[in-house]
Amino acid sequence: MRRHSVLLLLLVLASIMVSSSANGEMFMDSGLVDIPTGAVLEHGVFAIGPSVAARLDLRCSSLDDCGEVLVATTRLRLNFGLFDRVEVGLGYVWNEDNWGKNRWGEQRGELSTEQAASLKVQLLKERDVGAVPSVAIGIEYLGDGILTTDSVNSASPSPFLAVSKTFNLPRIHQFSGHIGVGANRFQFGEGPFGLFVGLSKEFQPAFARGDITMSLEFDGADVNAGMQYIPASGLQIALGAETLNDPGELRCLASVSWTNKHLLEQIDETRRLIQRVTELAVEAKRAAEKASE
Protein backbone atom coordinates (compact mmCIF):
# COMPACT_ATOMS: atom_id res chain seq x y z
CA MET A 1 0.00 0.00 0.00
CA ARG A 2 2.80 2.43 0.95
CA ARG A 3 4.74 1.51 -2.19
CA HIS A 4 1.76 2.30 -4.40
CA SER A 5 1.23 5.62 -2.59
CA VAL A 6 4.85 6.64 -3.18
CA LEU A 7 4.66 5.75 -6.88
CA LEU A 8 1.45 7.72 -7.28
CA LEU A 9 2.96 10.77 -5.54
CA LEU A 10 6.05 10.63 -7.78
CA LEU A 11 3.79 10.48 -10.84
CA VAL A 12 1.96 13.60 -9.65
CA LEU A 13 5.20 15.49 -9.08
CA ALA A 14 6.44 14.48 -12.53
CA SER A 15 3.29 15.84 -14.14
CA ILE A 16 3.97 19.37 -12.85
CA MET A 17 6.30 20.18 -15.73
CA VAL A 18 3.82 19.19 -18.46
CA SER A 19 0.47 20.29 -17.07
CA SER A 20 -1.92 23.02 -18.17
CA SER A 21 -4.22 25.27 -16.17
CA ALA A 22 -7.42 23.99 -14.63
CA ASN A 23 -9.68 27.02 -14.32
CA GLY A 24 -12.89 25.86 -12.73
CA GLU A 25 -14.62 25.95 -9.37
CA MET A 26 -13.50 28.36 -6.66
CA PHE A 27 -13.74 27.48 -2.97
CA MET A 28 -15.96 24.44 -3.34
CA ASP A 29 -17.49 23.62 0.04
CA SER A 30 -16.05 20.12 0.17
CA GLY A 31 -12.96 21.01 -1.86
CA LEU A 32 -9.96 23.30 -1.71
CA VAL A 33 -9.40 26.48 -3.75
CA ASP A 34 -9.70 24.96 -7.21
CA ILE A 35 -9.58 21.18 -6.86
CA PRO A 36 -12.12 18.64 -5.55
CA THR A 37 -11.40 16.29 -2.66
CA GLY A 38 -12.72 12.93 -1.54
CA ALA A 39 -15.14 14.53 0.92
CA VAL A 40 -18.79 15.49 0.40
CA LEU A 41 -21.22 17.64 2.35
CA GLU A 42 -23.23 15.79 4.99
CA HIS A 43 -26.92 15.09 4.51
CA GLY A 44 -29.00 18.23 4.88
CA VAL A 45 -26.01 20.57 4.86
CA PHE A 46 -25.97 23.32 2.26
CA ALA A 47 -23.91 26.41 1.49
CA ILE A 48 -24.83 29.41 -0.64
CA GLY A 49 -22.98 32.58 -1.56
CA PRO A 50 -20.92 34.51 -4.12
CA SER A 51 -17.23 34.29 -4.99
CA VAL A 52 -15.07 36.60 -7.09
CA ALA A 53 -11.78 36.07 -8.94
CA ALA A 54 -10.04 39.05 -10.54
CA ARG A 55 -6.73 40.06 -12.09
CA LEU A 56 -5.28 42.91 -14.18
CA ASP A 57 -4.02 42.13 -17.67
CA LEU A 58 -2.19 44.46 -20.06
CA ARG A 59 -3.57 44.21 -23.60
CA CYS A 60 -3.06 46.15 -26.83
CA SER A 61 -5.49 46.51 -29.72
CA SER A 62 -2.82 48.37 -31.74
CA LEU A 63 0.75 49.56 -31.34
CA ASP A 64 -0.35 52.86 -29.79
CA ASP A 65 -3.45 51.69 -27.91
CA CYS A 66 -2.71 49.63 -24.80
CA GLY A 67 -4.48 49.43 -21.50
CA GLU A 68 -4.96 47.38 -18.38
CA VAL A 69 -7.85 44.95 -18.55
CA LEU A 70 -9.79 43.94 -15.46
CA VAL A 71 -10.62 40.29 -16.00
CA ALA A 72 -13.13 39.24 -13.35
CA THR A 73 -15.28 36.18 -12.73
CA THR A 74 -18.20 36.30 -10.29
CA ARG A 75 -19.92 33.09 -9.27
CA LEU A 76 -23.13 32.59 -7.31
CA ARG A 77 -23.29 28.99 -6.13
CA LEU A 78 -25.42 26.59 -4.11
CA ASN A 79 -24.06 23.27 -2.88
CA PHE A 80 -26.00 20.74 -0.81
CA GLY A 81 -25.45 17.23 0.51
CA LEU A 82 -27.73 14.20 0.30
CA PHE A 83 -27.61 10.87 2.16
CA ASP A 84 -24.06 11.62 3.44
CA ARG A 85 -22.75 10.30 0.11
CA VAL A 86 -23.88 12.73 -2.60
CA GLU A 87 -23.14 16.41 -3.17
CA VAL A 88 -24.89 18.52 -5.81
CA GLY A 89 -23.79 21.96 -6.92
CA LEU A 90 -25.52 24.63 -9.01
CA GLY A 91 -24.09 27.97 -10.01
CA TYR A 92 -24.34 31.01 -12.23
CA VAL A 93 -21.17 32.65 -13.54
CA TRP A 94 -20.51 36.17 -14.82
CA ASN A 95 -17.27 36.65 -16.81
CA GLU A 96 -16.33 40.31 -17.26
CA ASP A 97 -13.55 41.54 -19.53
CA ASN A 98 -13.48 45.31 -18.91
CA TRP A 99 -11.12 47.41 -21.01
CA GLY A 100 -12.20 50.70 -19.46
CA LYS A 101 -11.87 53.59 -21.95
CA ASN A 102 -9.59 53.78 -24.94
CA ARG A 103 -7.72 56.92 -26.06
CA TRP A 104 -10.81 58.20 -27.90
CA GLY A 105 -12.92 58.04 -24.74
CA GLU A 106 -14.92 55.02 -25.92
CA GLN A 107 -16.00 52.48 -23.34
CA ARG A 108 -15.04 48.91 -24.15
CA GLY A 109 -15.86 45.71 -22.34
CA GLU A 110 -17.51 42.33 -22.57
CA LEU A 111 -19.79 40.48 -20.18
CA SER A 112 -20.68 36.84 -20.68
CA THR A 113 -22.70 34.51 -18.47
CA GLU A 114 -22.60 30.77 -17.98
CA GLN A 115 -24.33 28.21 -15.83
CA ALA A 116 -22.51 25.61 -13.80
CA ALA A 117 -23.40 22.29 -12.24
CA SER A 118 -21.55 19.54 -10.43
CA LEU A 119 -22.28 16.12 -8.99
CA LYS A 120 -20.04 14.17 -6.61
CA VAL A 121 -20.60 10.72 -5.11
CA GLN A 122 -18.49 9.42 -2.25
CA LEU A 123 -17.47 5.78 -2.64
CA LEU A 124 -15.44 5.40 0.57
CA LYS A 125 -15.59 7.47 3.75
CA GLU A 126 -12.61 7.88 6.05
CA ARG A 127 -13.32 7.28 9.73
CA ASP A 128 -11.17 9.63 11.81
CA VAL A 129 -7.51 8.79 11.09
CA GLY A 130 -8.05 5.32 9.70
CA ALA A 131 -6.43 3.20 7.04
CA VAL A 132 -9.24 3.74 4.51
CA PRO A 133 -9.17 7.12 2.71
CA SER A 134 -12.13 9.09 1.44
CA VAL A 135 -12.71 8.40 -2.25
CA ALA A 136 -15.17 10.25 -4.48
CA ILE A 137 -16.02 10.40 -8.15
CA GLY A 138 -17.80 13.29 -9.79
CA ILE A 139 -18.42 15.43 -12.81
CA GLU A 140 -18.39 19.18 -13.38
CA TYR A 141 -19.96 21.10 -16.22
CA LEU A 142 -19.87 24.73 -17.31
CA GLY A 143 -22.33 25.65 -20.05
CA ASP A 144 -25.29 27.72 -21.20
CA GLY A 145 -27.99 25.07 -21.13
CA ILE A 146 -27.87 23.53 -17.67
CA LEU A 147 -30.76 25.38 -16.10
CA THR A 148 -32.61 26.23 -19.32
CA THR A 149 -33.71 24.50 -22.52
CA ASP A 150 -31.38 26.62 -24.66
CA SER A 151 -28.66 24.96 -26.68
CA VAL A 152 -25.42 24.41 -24.78
CA ASN A 153 -22.01 25.70 -25.75
CA SER A 154 -19.00 23.62 -26.70
CA ALA A 155 -17.82 23.06 -23.13
CA SER A 156 -17.51 19.42 -22.14
CA PRO A 157 -18.18 17.77 -18.78
CA SER A 158 -15.12 17.26 -16.59
CA PRO A 159 -15.17 13.88 -14.78
CA PHE A 160 -12.77 13.30 -11.88
CA LEU A 161 -11.69 10.86 -9.19
CA ALA A 162 -10.44 12.34 -5.90
CA VAL A 163 -8.82 10.66 -2.88
CA SER A 164 -8.30 12.32 0.51
CA LYS A 165 -6.44 10.97 3.55
CA THR A 166 -5.88 12.42 7.02
CA PHE A 167 -2.45 11.96 8.60
CA ASN A 168 -1.34 12.42 12.21
CA LEU A 169 2.34 13.31 12.57
CA PRO A 170 4.37 14.52 15.57
CA ARG A 171 4.40 18.31 16.02
CA ILE A 172 2.39 18.84 12.82
CA HIS A 173 -0.50 16.83 14.24
CA GLN A 174 -3.37 16.23 11.83
CA PHE A 175 -3.35 17.40 8.22
CA SER A 176 -5.03 16.14 5.05
CA GLY A 177 -3.53 15.15 1.72
CA HIS A 178 -5.54 15.14 -1.50
CA ILE A 179 -4.80 13.64 -4.89
CA GLY A 180 -6.91 13.04 -7.96
CA VAL A 181 -7.18 12.53 -11.68
CA GLY A 182 -9.63 14.10 -14.13
CA ALA A 183 -10.38 14.98 -17.75
CA ASN A 184 -11.08 18.20 -19.68
CA ARG A 185 -10.45 21.06 -17.24
CA PHE A 186 -8.09 18.78 -15.31
CA GLN A 187 -6.18 17.41 -18.31
CA PHE A 188 -2.70 18.55 -19.28
CA GLY A 189 -0.85 18.68 -22.59
CA GLU A 190 -2.25 16.42 -25.26
CA GLY A 191 -3.10 13.64 -22.83
CA PRO A 192 -6.69 12.70 -22.02
CA PHE A 193 -6.24 13.07 -18.25
CA GLY A 194 -4.54 15.29 -15.71
CA LEU A 195 -3.46 14.93 -12.10
CA PHE A 196 -3.96 17.33 -9.20
CA VAL A 197 -2.68 17.33 -5.63
CA GLY A 198 -3.21 19.40 -2.49
CA LEU A 199 -2.61 19.74 1.25
CA SER A 200 -4.89 21.25 3.89
CA LYS A 201 -4.80 21.75 7.65
CA GLU A 202 -7.46 22.91 10.08
CA PHE A 203 -6.85 25.15 13.08
CA GLN A 204 -9.14 26.02 16.00
CA PRO A 205 -7.46 28.98 17.70
CA ALA A 206 -9.29 30.32 20.75
CA PHE A 207 -9.28 33.92 19.48
CA ALA A 208 -10.98 32.95 16.19
CA ARG A 209 -14.05 31.34 17.76
CA GLY A 210 -14.34 29.13 14.72
CA ASP A 211 -12.42 26.93 12.30
CA ILE A 212 -9.61 28.15 10.04
CA THR A 213 -8.47 25.96 7.15
CA MET A 214 -5.24 26.65 5.26
CA SER A 215 -4.70 24.93 1.92
CA LEU A 216 -2.03 24.65 -0.75
CA GLU A 217 -2.70 22.91 -4.05
CA PHE A 218 -1.40 22.20 -7.54
CA ASP A 219 -4.29 22.09 -10.00
CA GLY A 220 -2.43 20.74 -13.02
CA ALA A 221 -0.38 23.78 -13.97
CA ASP A 222 -0.68 26.40 -11.24
CA VAL A 223 0.05 26.60 -7.54
CA ASN A 224 -2.87 28.00 -5.53
CA ALA A 225 -3.23 28.86 -1.84
CA GLY A 226 -6.26 29.68 0.25
CA MET A 227 -7.55 30.38 3.73
CA GLN A 228 -11.12 29.75 4.88
CA TYR A 229 -12.67 30.96 8.13
CA ILE A 230 -15.90 29.42 9.44
CA PRO A 231 -17.19 30.87 12.74
CA ALA A 232 -19.95 29.29 14.80
CA SER A 233 -22.52 31.50 13.06
CA GLY A 234 -22.05 29.53 9.82
CA LEU A 235 -20.71 32.47 7.83
CA GLN A 236 -17.83 31.34 5.61
CA ILE A 237 -15.15 33.79 4.50
CA ALA A 238 -12.42 32.63 2.13
CA LEU A 239 -9.44 34.42 0.59
CA GLY A 240 -6.97 32.97 -1.85
CA ALA A 241 -4.63 33.39 -4.76
CA GLU A 242 -4.20 31.38 -7.97
CA THR A 243 -1.12 30.98 -10.20
CA LEU A 244 1.39 31.82 -7.47
CA ASN A 245 4.03 30.29 -9.72
CA ASP A 246 3.41 33.02 -12.37
CA PRO A 247 3.09 36.53 -10.85
CA GLY A 248 2.04 37.97 -14.20
CA GLU A 249 -1.08 35.74 -14.20
CA LEU A 250 -1.86 36.05 -10.49
CA ARG A 251 -5.59 36.01 -9.64
CA CYS A 252 -6.99 37.17 -6.31
CA LEU A 253 -9.96 35.26 -4.92
CA ALA A 254 -12.61 36.13 -2.36
CA SER A 255 -15.71 34.25 -1.27
CA VAL A 256 -18.49 34.84 1.26
CA SER A 257 -21.15 32.21 1.90
CA TRP A 258 -23.37 30.80 4.61
CA THR A 259 -23.75 27.18 5.66
CA ASN A 260 -26.21 25.55 8.03
CA LYS A 261 -23.66 22.95 9.18
CA HIS A 262 -23.09 24.48 12.61
CA LEU A 263 -26.83 25.00 13.06
CA LEU A 264 -27.50 21.32 12.37
CA GLU A 265 -24.71 20.35 14.76
CA GLN A 266 -26.30 22.47 17.48
CA ILE A 267 -29.70 20.89 16.80
CA ASP A 268 -28.16 17.39 17.02
CA GLU A 269 -26.39 18.32 20.26
CA THR A 270 -29.64 19.64 21.74
CA ARG A 271 -31.45 16.45 20.65
CA ARG A 272 -28.78 14.27 22.31
CA LEU A 273 -28.99 16.37 25.46
CA ILE A 274 -32.78 16.03 25.62
CA GLN A 275 -32.48 12.29 25.06
CA ARG A 276 -29.91 11.99 27.85
CA VAL A 277 -32.06 14.04 30.24
CA THR A 278 -35.03 11.82 29.40
CA GLU A 279 -33.00 8.67 30.09
CA LEU A 280 -31.84 10.06 33.44
CA ALA A 281 -35.41 10.98 34.35
CA VAL A 282 -36.60 7.44 33.54
CA GLU A 283 -33.76 5.91 35.58
CA ALA A 284 -34.55 8.20 38.52
CA LYS A 285 -38.24 7.25 38.36
CA ARG A 286 -37.41 3.54 38.33
CA ALA A 287 -35.05 3.98 41.25
CA ALA A 288 -37.74 5.83 43.21
CA GLU A 289 -40.28 3.08 42.48
CA LYS A 290 -37.89 0.39 43.70
CA ALA A 291 -37.13 2.37 46.83
CA SER A 292 -40.84 2.70 47.67
CA GLU A 293 -41.47 -1.06 47.40
pTM value is: 0.74
d(CA 171, CA 211): 19
Q: Is residue 115 part of a domain?
A: yes
**3-class DSSP assignment, residue 164:** strand
Counts of helices then strands in the chain (DSSP H, E): 2, 12
Distances 176 to 12, 22, 35, 291, 293 between C-alpha atoms, Å: 16, 21, 14, 54, 58
pLDDT score recorded for residue 144: 54
pLDDT score recorded for residue 152: 38
pLDDT score recorded for residue 110: 63
Q: Is residue 276 part of a domain?
A: no
CB 253 within 8 A of CB 242: yes
Task: Please list the ranges in the chain whose pLDDT falls under 70.
Answer: 1-29, 58-69, 97-110, 129-130, 142-155, 293
Q: What angle do CA 242, 248, 250 make, to 5 degrees?
A: 15
Length of the chain measured in residues: 293
Q: Is residue 287 part of a domain?
A: no
Q: Is residue 30 part of a domain?
A: yes
Query: What is the DSSP track for 69-131?
Result: EEEEEEEEEEEEEETTTEEEEEEEEEEEEEEEE-TTS-EEEEEEEEEEEEEEEEEE---SS-S
CB 52 within 8 A of CB 241: no
Q: Residue 198 is part of a domain; what is its CATH number? A: 2.40.160.40
Q: What is the domain range of residue 225?
A: 2-259
User: How many independent structural domains does the chain possess?
Assistant: 1
Q: Is residue 269 part of a domain?
A: no
Q: How far is CA 139 from the centre of its chain?
A: 14
pLDDT score recorded for residue 181: 93
Q: Is residue 278 part of a domain?
A: no
Q: Is residue 277 part of a domain?
A: no
pLDDT score recorded for residue 109: 57
Q: Is residue 149 part of a domain?
A: yes
**3-class DSSP assignment, residue 10:** helix
